[in-house]
Structure 1
Amino acid sequence: MAENTPDEGEGDDGSEEFREMLREFLAGNTDLDPAKLASAAGLPDDPEMVQRLIGQLQHALQNSGDGINWGLATEQARALAGRSAVPSTPAERTSLEQALHVAALWLDEATDISSLTTEPVLLTRAGWADATMPVWTQLAEPVANSIADALTDVLEEHAAGEFEGMIGGAGKLMRNIGGTLFAMQLGQVVGQLASEAVSGGDVGIPLLDGETRQAALVPQNVDAFGAGLDIPIDEIRLYLAVRELAHARLFRHAKWLRLHLLTQITDFARGIHIDTSRLEELAADFDPQNPEELRAAVTSGALIPPKSDDQLAALARLETMLALIEGWVDVVTAAATTRLPHAVGIAETVRRRRAAGGPAESAFSTLVGLELRPRRLREAAAMWQAVHDAVGAEVRDDLWSHPDVVPGDADIDDPTALVARLSGGAPEPDDVDRALEDLLADDSGDRPRED
C-alpha cells in the first residue's frame, strides 16, 4: 500500500491552500499593504519593522511546531532597545560601581538582611531586555495562548464559502501566525521598557535570575532619571543603587517570595480570556485598507473583558504584596541614605514615577490586562516605619521569614495591633473590643442577676 506524501497529507485538511493564500499576501501579490498589517498588530509604521514582521510571518508559515516563538520577542526587544542605546563611558561605569559598593555598606547599617552572593551588574538597554524577557514571557504566555485559541475558534466558526475548506485544518497555522504577532508586540513593549527601567527591580517584581544575577543597573537610564532634577548625578546613582540592592537583598533573604509573587501573577493571568464576541465583530467589519480599529482593539486591551470577581480578589492580594515589598524597600532605603542631602526629593520622584507608570508599563498593562503598580505604597511604608520605630530592624525584617507571618491588609490599615504583638504587649481596647467583651460576659452569665 502506498504511503501518503506530505503534500497529500496537507491537502486533505485544506491547510496548504490556506497557506498558499497567505504566501501570496506576504509576497505582496494582494491589495492589502503589509504595512497596514503591522499597524493592525500595534507595531510602529517603520519599514525595517514591517520587513521584520513579514520575514517572521513567512517563517511561521514554514514552522510545523505549535506554540509561541518567544525567541522572536527577545530578538524584537533587543533590536528596539539597541536603537536608542548610548554606550556608557568608563568613568560613568566606574562611578556606578563605586556607588554600588558604598550602597552595600550603607545597607548593612539599615538592615540585618545579609548582602548579595553575586556582584551586581551594569546592563545596556538591550542587555536588560534580554535578561528580563524570561519573566515577561511567563506573565504574557496565558494571554498569548488565549488570543491564539480565540482567533482560531472564530475563524473556524465563521468561515464560509471558498474559505471554509481552507480554514478547517489550518488551526495550528493560525496559532503560529497569531503567536508571531503577539510575540512581536511583547518584544515591542519590553524594548520600550528597556529605555525606561533603571534597574532589575524597577517595576517591583523580580525580573532577574535570582541565582546568577541578583541586582543590576542600567547606566544610561540611571542618568536619564536624574536629568532635569537639579540634583547631583552622584546622589542619584547612590540612591538608586541602594534601592536596587535593598530589593535584591529582600528577595534573596525571603527565598519563598519570588515564587509566591510570580505564582500570584500567573494565577491571575490564567484567568484572562479573550472576548470572542468583540473579536467576531472586528472580523466581520474589518477593512483591510483601514486597520485602525483592529490596532486600537489590540493595543487598548479592548479584547480582554472586565475582570471577574475572582480576578479582582487575586489582583487585590497581588497589589497588597507589591505594596509591602516596595514599602519595605522605601523605608530601608530612607534609613540607608540619610547622608544624601537630596534623598527625600529623590524618594518622592521615585514614588511618583511608580504611581504613574511609564508609557511602556501602560502598554504591558493593556496587552496582558495586568497592572504592576502598588496602590497602597505610602500606607505600607508607614506601617514598616511604625514597626521599625517600635521594635527595630531585626524584628521588622524577620516578618519576611515566612508567608504566614507577613503583614496583611489589616496591618497596613492600622499597624497598632501588629506593633503591640511584636512588642510583647496588647493594644488598648477600642469601643468594638469593649462591646464584644461585654457581650461575651453577658452570655457567660457574669452579668448581675435580676431579682
Structure 2
Amino acid sequence: MADDDNADRFGGEDFPELLRRLLGGADGAEFDPAQLEGLARMGVDPAMLQQIMGQMQQAFGQAGNAADGIDWSAAKTQALHLSNKDGASISSGDRTEFEQAFALATLWLSEATTISDLATPPMAMTRGQWVEQTLPVWQELAEPVADSIAGALTSVIDEQTPDDMKQLVAGAGAFMRRVGGSLFAAQLGGVVGRLSLEVVSGGDVGIPVMPDGVAAILPQNFADFGRDLDVTDDQLALYLATRELAHARLFRHARWLRLHVISQVTEFARGIHVDRDALEDLASRFDPSSPEELRSALESGALLPQRTPAQDAALARLENLLATIEGWVDVVTADATARLPEAAKIAEAVRRRRAVGGPAEQAMASLVGLELRPRRLREAAAMWRAVTDAVGAAERDGLWDYPDLMPEASDIDDPQALIARLRARAAGEAPPRDAFDEALDELLAQAASEDGGDTSGRGTGDDSGDSTGPEGPRPV
C-alpha cells in the first residue's frame, strides 16, 4: 500500500505521524474527528477514540518517551503523591521517642539472639521516605506482570488488525507495549502509595523491601495501629522497635536470604499471564466517560487468570518461607520483650494484622496475583519455640548461617525431627536417617548396579584404572 494512499485515507497525514500526534501529543494539537474517518475501517469510532485519548494523553506521553521496557516514573510520582498528601514531617518529639525505643530494644534483643546488631542506626521514617526506599523492590516484583499485560496489549492489537493494515500499524505495537506498561506502573504506584499509609515499620509486609541492614518505624502510622489496642505508647513503641530490629538483623546476617525470598516471589510472578479473553472483553465494553472500570480491572485482578498447579506449588513454597522467617522473628521478639506487661497482647494484634492484611495489601495481591500473608505463621513460631527450648538460642540461630541448614516445610510439621538433627550435629553424630535417605541410597545402588553391567566403559574410569581425576578421587 503506497504512502500517498495512507495519507489520503487519514486526512492528509501518514499513520505513524497520526499516532504520534494522537497518543503522544503534537504541541497540544487537537483533532477533528473528520480527520480520523479512515479509522472506521478498523472498526473504531473516531469520535470515541479522540475522547479516550484526550483523557489518557498525559499518561501516554510519559510512556512514549521510554526507549525500551517500562517507564516506572509514573509509579514513583503516583506513590509519592499519595504518601505525602497529609504532610511529610516528623516532630522532634516523635523522633526522640523512637530513637530511645530503638536504643532499649537493641539491648533487649542482644539478650535474645546471637545474631549481631545492625551497622546502620535505625530511624523514624516518613511515608514518602518509605516509598523511596522500597519502590525498587516493588517494581522488581511487579515487572513480570507488567510485561505480561504490555505483551497482551501488543498481541491483541496485532490480532485485531486486518492483514492489509499490519504494515501500516507496524510501529504501534511497540508503542502500545510501553503504554500498557506505563498504565500498570501508575496503578502500582497507587497501590504502593496507599500501602505507605498503612505500614508501621520497614519489615511490616514480611518480605525484604527495605535496603539491607535498614530498620525504620513510620510514626505517622504508629498512632493508627495502636489506637484500639488499649496499651501505652511506650510499650507499643518498644515492642515494634524490637520486632523491626529482629527482622532487619536476620536479613543482614543471612545475606543469602534476601535473594532467596525475592527469587521465590519472582518465580511465582513469572508464571502469571494475562487473561486475553478478559482483556478483549474489557476493551469491547470500555466507556471513556468512566475510566474507573479500567483501574478497577487492574487492581481487582480481573485480568489475571486462575493460578496454575505450578504457581500453587510456588506459592506454597513462598508461604512456608515467609512463615519460617516471621516465626523466628515472633519468637525472638517475644523473648526480648518479656519485660513488657502488654507484650502478649501486642504480639497477638500483630499476628492478626498480618493474617488479615490491610486494604492496600489486598490491592497488591490483586494487582500482581500474590498474597504476602504467611498462612502457617503460628505453626512456624511453635517450631522455633520448640527448637529454642531444646537446644538454645545459639544452635537455633545457627540454622540461618547457610541456606541448606534453614528449616523446611517438613520441619514445621515435625519440629522433633529437626531437634533430633540438631542434637546429633552438636554431639558429632551422624544425623538420624529418614525416608529420603533410604530412597537416595536405593537410587544410588541402582545406578551403581547399572554402571557395573555396562560393557562400553561408561562410568568405569580410564584404561589405566586410576580412579582419580582433576577433581579428586571418583567413587567406585
Specify the TM-score bucket, using the shorter chain as the normaliser: 0.7 to 0.9
Structure 1, residues 383-407: CA drift from partner, whole Å, max 9, x if none? 0000000011000011111111111
User: How far apart are residue 93 of structure 1 and its match?
Assistant: 0.8
Which of 157, 164, 168 is equivalent to 2:170?
168
Tell me what 1:119 maps to: 121
Q: 1:207 to 1:23 in 2, by over 3 A?
A: closer
Structure of higher CA gyration radius: 2
Tell me what 2:235 maps to: 235
User: How far apart are residue 80 of structure 1 and its match?
Assistant: 0.9
Say whether residues 1:307 and 2:310 are aligned partners. Answer: no
Say whether residues 1:180 and 2:210 are aligned partners. Answer: no
In structure 1, C-alpha distance between the alignment counterparts of 2:221 and 2:13, rounded to whole Å:
55
User: In the TM superposition, what are the counterparts of 1:9-408 in structure 2 within 5 Å?
Assistant: 14-22=15-23, 54-61=57-64, 63=65, 65-85=67-87, 87-160=89-162, 167-210=169-212, 214-291=214-291, 293-408=293-408
In structure 1, C-alpha distance between the alignment counterparts of 2:283 and 2:49, rounded to whole Å:
17
In structure 1, C-alpha distance between the alignment counterparts of 2:62 and 2:307, rounded to whole Å:
35
In structure 1, C-alpha distance between the alignment counterparts of 2:51 and 2:249, rounded to whole Å:
46
Given that 1:124 and 1:220 are in contact with CA atoms closer than 8 Å, whether structure 2 keeps it comes out as yes
In structure 2, C-alpha distance between the alignment counterparts of 1:35 and 1:183, rounded to whole Å:
22
User: How far apart are residue 421 of structure 1 and its match?
Assistant: 2.3
> 2:423 is aligned with what amino acid?
S
Structure 1, residues 335-380: CA drift from partner, whole Å, max 9, x if none? 0001111000000000000000111111111111111110000000
Given that 2:153 and 2:180 are in contact with CA atoms closer than 8 Å, whether structure 1 keeps it comes out as yes
User: How far apart are residue 151 of structure 1 and its match?
Assistant: 0.4
> 2:420 is aligned with what amino acid?
A
Given that 2:24 and 2:57 are in contact with CA atoms closer than 8 Å, whether structure 1 keeps it comes out as no
> 2:58 is aligned with what amino acid?
G
In structure 2, C-alpha distance between the alignment counterparts of 1:200 and 1:383, rounded to whole Å:
25
> 1:112 is aligned with what amino acid?
T
Tell me what 2:448 maps to: none
Tell me what 1:47 maps to: none
Given that 1:18 and 1:166 are in contact with CA atoms closer than 8 Å, whether structure 2 keeps it comes out as no
In structure 1, C-alpha distance between the alignment counterparts of 2:80 and 2:316, rounded to whole Å:
33
Q: Unaligned stretches of 5+ in structure 2?
A: 1-6, 34-46, 439-476
Q: Unaligned stretches of 5+ in structure 1?
A: 1-6, 39-49, 437-451
Given that 1:198 and 1:221 are in contact with CA atoms closer than 8 Å, whether structure 2 keeps it comes out as yes
Identity value in percent: 55
> 1:58 is aligned with what amino acid?
G
Tell me what 1:4 maps to: none
In structure 1, C-alpha distance between the alignment counterparts of 2:97 and 2:51, rounded to whole Å:
44
User: How far apart are residue 284 of structure 1 and its match?
Assistant: 2.8
User: How far apart are residue 55 of structure 1 and its match?
Assistant: 2.9
Structure 1, residues 79-110: CA drift from partner, whole Å, max 9, x if none? 11000236322111101000000000000000
User: How far apart are residue 296 of structure 1 and its match?
Assistant: 3.4
In structure 1, C-alpha distance between the alignment counterparts of 2:115 and 2:29, rounded to whole Å:
59
In structure 1, C-alpha distance between the alignment counterparts of 2:291 and 2:98, rounded to whole Å:
46
What is the number of equivalent residue pairs in this alignment? 406
Name the SS for the 1:355 alignment partner.
helix
Provide the TM-score with structure 2 as the length reference: 0.79
> 1:353 is aligned with what amino acid?
R
Pick which of 380-389 and 288-297 moved more: 288-297
Structure 1, residues 244-277: CA drift from partner, whole Å, max 9, x if none? 0000010111111001111111111111111112
Tell me what 1:42 maps to: none
Given that 2:150 and 2:180 are in contact with CA atoms closer than 8 Å, whether structure 1 keeps it comes out as yes
In structure 1, C-alpha distance between the alignment counterparts of 2:256 and 2:13, rounded to whole Å:
51
Given that 1:148 and 1:174 are in contact with CA atoms closer than 8 Å, whether structure 2 keeps it comes out as yes
Given that 1:13 and 1:169 are in contact with CA atoms closer than 8 Å, whether structure 2 keeps it comes out as no
> 2:23 is aligned with what amino acid?
L
Given that 1:18 and 1:167 are in contact with CA atoms closer than 8 Å, whether structure 2 keeps it comes out as no
Name the SS for the 2:405 alignment partner.
coil
User: How far apart are residue 121 of structure 1 and its match?
Assistant: 2.1
Provide the TM-score with structure 1 as the length reference: 0.83
